[in-house]
Amino acid sequence: MSLAPTPESTKHPDALRVATVNVNGIRAAYRRGMQEWLAARDVDILCLQEVRAPDEIVRDLLGDSWHIVHAEAAAKGRAGVAIASRTAPIATREHIGDAYFATAGRWVEADFEFDGAKVTVASAYVHSGEAGSPQQEDKYRFLDLMTARLTDLRGTRDHALVVGDLNVGHTTLDIRNWKGNLKKAGFLPEERAYFDHFFSESVGWVDVHRTLAGEMDGPYTWWSWRGKAYDNDAGWRIDYHLATPELAASALHAVVDRAHSWEARFSDHAPLVVDYKL
Amino acid sequence: MSLAPTPESTKHPDALRVATVNVNGIRAAYRRGMQEWLAARDVDILCLQEVRAPDEIVRDLLGDSWHIVHAEAAAKGRAGVAIASRTAPIATREHIGDAYFATAGRWVEADFEFDGAKVTVASAYVHSGEAGSPQQEDKYRFLDLMTARLTDLRGTRDHALVVGDLNVGHTTLDIRNWKGNLKKAGFLPEERAYFDHFFSESVGWVDVHRTLAGEMDGPYTWWSWRGKAYDNDAGWRIDYHLATPELAASALHAVVDRAHSWEARFSDHAPLVVDYKL
DNA sequence: CCTTTAACG
DNA sequence: CGTTTAAGG
């Protein structure tokens, strides 16, 4: 299997290519062909969510060519986020918040220096959080912490990038069947308000993918495994690149690496790949 | 897929063909081709162990052509024994012993009448019982109950047949690597002593398969999934037809339906099929 | 509908 | 090495 060349797969020589993908179990993703996808894309920084595997297995699968920082969840086989990079980070941090989320496997950060510019990258996995469940409460607690962290990063870094599965669709453009999901976790008004706030002047982050894609439906990044959701593109845009304004302005293009006929769908999420020219 | 004709598959017109098979999950067995095996064998009474499925699913899979008595385990997805017959039983009983084993899904009996002769058939699934574990204690308790039941059946029935996965190899002929298993559950002296007792004059049952096969190694009925145990025939004879003497004497032949190149292995156990000419 | 673990075998 | 279920998604 190989990936056909696409305009987006031709990377500008100076560009930094950052991919985020919820792999829904990295072992299953590799069984389904993730390695072929990765080999065909010249990714510099790979942000993973729902790794769901012990650290040793993650390193075995990705191989020696990556520097890896991996925040495992205390619960075996659950959550887990990682940042794999071709160059070594100068610092890493494995969670946000207090002890409650210390071993949640939902947040990891790495600081890089590229040609003198400092860039902080975070891989985030927000709770799915069924409405009314205890997990929904955790989701709000986590989004509160994330708000604080975004504010802090915005104030203290040259450039910062928070990518990952944020498990919320921001606007009606972001969910195919938005009318049917107004009371469902992932499109609740209270959840969406967090994103309004992220992109407000006071917090000041940019939704890179939406900015590049413009006011179109989607492009979606997640489709249920059930039925024909994928074939019908009945998806949700819940995976994001959030960037500080200057970094966001440097984004050349964004691509959702939706599987085509000649390649495999290796997760229920598709990779979201953005090239930045710092 | 079809079964090549074998001498044993040609059933005498008056014979009663009784098969026992530990299916290790009837859903998985059907996925792996059990139905093709069953369609090719003209079985009259099919005794199953480790059914591991809800009653409704068992009836769906086997279809309408069978009368089924199914003793489910209280623990979902565990154990479960059944007797499927082409003719209706005149009575059924779904356990032995007191409340402790009432919902164990390890014993089921059916009484049949064939041309005026009464025959009781039981499908039994004795605990695997790792040595030293609490399950080993349960195994001995169950073997005690089975001893009592065998004694009772012997005294009260014209003909009785107890088949199933008894999870004990009786003699050194019954396990390929018997030397390496002298301290392993399934070949412990204390377990084997039960079988000496079953076949003693005082209890008076007959090991039909051994009687017909003679003093040979095997024929084995179970092989670990691991490694090349199956290819190397490194098996255990732990599935049995135990019969009362007159019924045992009527046995025409016994066959272990080991999968051949042209058919699938649908369980870690192979069916043991015996024809009786009452 | 899929991925893990867990217990059991 | 394979079967289930269970929780999580």
Residues of chain B with pLDDT under 50: 1-5, 7
Comparing C-alpha atoms, which of B270, B267, B231, B244 is closest to residue B118? B244
A49 CB less than 7 Å from any atom of strand C: no
What whole-number distance in Å separates Cα of residue A26 and Cα of residue A107?
17
User: What residue has token string 């051994």?
Assistant: B210
Q: Which residues of B are annotated as a binding site for Mg(2+)?
A: 22, 50, 165, 167, 268-269
Distance B267 CA to D5 C1' (A): 20
CA distance A121 to A128: 22
Instruction: Go through A229-263 and write b for each residue having 16 or more CB atoms within 10 A of its CB, e for each that does not.
Output: bbeeebbbbbbbbbbbeebbebbbebbbbbbeeeb
Report pLDDT for A9. 60
Residue with CA nearest to C6's C1' atom: A76
Number of other residues whose CB lies within 10 A of the CB of residue A203? 17
The closest nt to B224, taking CA to C1', is D1
Contact, A164 vs A126, CB < 8 A? yes
Strand D closer than 7 A to residue B32 Cβ = yes
- pLDDT for the residue B7: 46
Catalogue the active-site residues of B.
125, 165, 269
Residue B111's region, left for phi above 0, alpha for psi from -120 to 50, else beta, is beta
Query: For A96-152, what is each residue's pLDDT tens digit?
Result: 988 888 899 999 999 999 988 999 999 999 999 888 888 888 999 999 999 999 999
Residue owning tokens 């921001």: A170
Angle between helices B189-198 and B134-156 (to 10 degrees): 10
Distance of alpha carbon A213 from alpha carbon A239, whole angstroms = 14
pLDDT tens per residue across span A161-182: 999 999 999 999 999 999 899 9
Residue A9 near residue A36 (C-beta atoms within 8 A): no
Q: Which residue is nearest to nucleotide C7 (CA to C1')?
A: B78
How far: B50 CA to D2 C1' (Å)? 13
> HSE-up of A204 (CA within 13 Å, CB side)?
16
List, as residue ranges, the binding site of A for Mg(2+).
22, 50, 165, 167, 268-269
- Strand D and A135 CB separated by under 7 Å: yes
Q: How far apart are CA A105 and CA A128, in angstroms?
A: 14
What the block records as the tokens of A72 is 């495992």
DSSP β-ladder status, A16-22 and A45-49:
parallel
For the stretch B199-237, pLDDT in tens is: 999 999 999 999 999 999 999 999 999 888 998 999 999
In the chain, the amino acid numbered A251 is A
B112-140 b/e (C-beta count within 10 Å ≥ 16 → b)? beeeeeebbbbbbbbbebeeeeeebebbe
B73 in contact with nucleic chain D (CB within 7 A): no
Structural contact between residues B20 and B238, judged by C-beta atoms closer than 8 angstroms: no
Residue A229 Cα distances to A157, A219, A262, B18, B114, angstroms = 40, 14, 19, 48, 56
How close are the terminal C-alpha atoms of chain B, in Å?
32
Residue A126 contacts residue A97 (beta carbons within 8 Å): no
Structure token digits, residue A48:
């993973």
From residues 212-241 of A, list those within 7 angstroms of strand D by Cβ: 225
Q: Low-confidence residues of chain A, pLDDT below 70?
A: 1-9, 260-262
Residues of A marked as catalytic: 125, 165, 269
Please tell me whether any atom of strand D lies within 7 Å of the Cβ of B77. yes
User: Would you state the structure tokens that stand for residue B144, as one six-digit string?
Assistant: 């005690």
Chain D: positions less than 7 Å from a protein CB are 1-6, 8-9
Distance CA B208 to C1' C4 in A: 45
Structure tokens belonging to residue A262: 């000649």
What type of residue sits at position B149? R
Q: Look up the CATH number of domain A16-276.
A: 3.60.10.10
- At residue B187, the pLDDT reads 94
C1’ C9 / CA A35, Å: 34
Tokens 């480790």 correspond to B50
Q: Identify the DSSP state of B176.
A: T
pLDDT of residue B163: 97
Asked if strand D contacts B27 at the CB level, meaning under 7 A, the answer is yes
Query: A59: which strand partners?
Result: none
CA of B96 to C1' of C8 (A): 22
Closest nucleotide to B267 by C1' from CA: D2
Report yes or no: B240 and B272 within 8 Å, Cβ to Cβ: yes
Is residue A211 within 8 A of residue A160, CB to CB? The reply is no
- How many Cα atoms are found within 13 Å in the side-chain-facing hemisphere of B68? 21
Nearest to B119 by CA among B23, B18, B224: B18
Residue B262's pLDDT is: 62
Virtual torsion, Cα B244, B247, B249, B252, nearest 10 deg: -130
Measure A148 CA to D1 C1' (Å). Answer: 48
Statement: the CB of A79 is under 7 Å from strand D? yes
Strand D closer than 7 A to residue B277 Cβ: no
CA quadruple A153, A157, A158, A160: dihedral sign: negative
Q: What is the pLDDT of residue B261?
A: 58
Strand C proximal residues, A:217-256, Cβ < 7 Å: 224-227
The H-or-E segment that residue B48 falls in is: strand B45-49
The 3-class SS string of chain A reads CCCCCCHHHCCCCCCEEEEEEECCCHHHHHHCCHHHHHHHCCCCEEEEECCCCCHHHHHHHHCCCCEEEEECCCCCCCCCEEEEECCCCCEEECCCCCHHHCCCCCEEEEEEEECCEEEEEEEEECCCCCCCCHHHHHHHHHHHHHHHHHHHHHHHCCEEEEEEECCCCCCHHHECCCHHHCCCCCCCHHHHHHHHHHCCCCCCCEEHHHHHHCCCCCCCCECCCCCCCCCCCCCECCEEEEECHHHHHCEEEEEECCCCCCCCCCCCECCEEEEECC
Whole-number Å distance between alpha carbons of A145 and A143? 5
Residue at shortest CA–C1' distance from D9: A128
Spacing of A84 CA from D4 C1' in Å: 36
Judge whether residue A265 contacts strand C, using its CB and a 7 Å cut-off.
Answer: no
Q: Is the CB of A52 under 7 A from strand C?
A: yes
Place of tokens 């042209």: B262
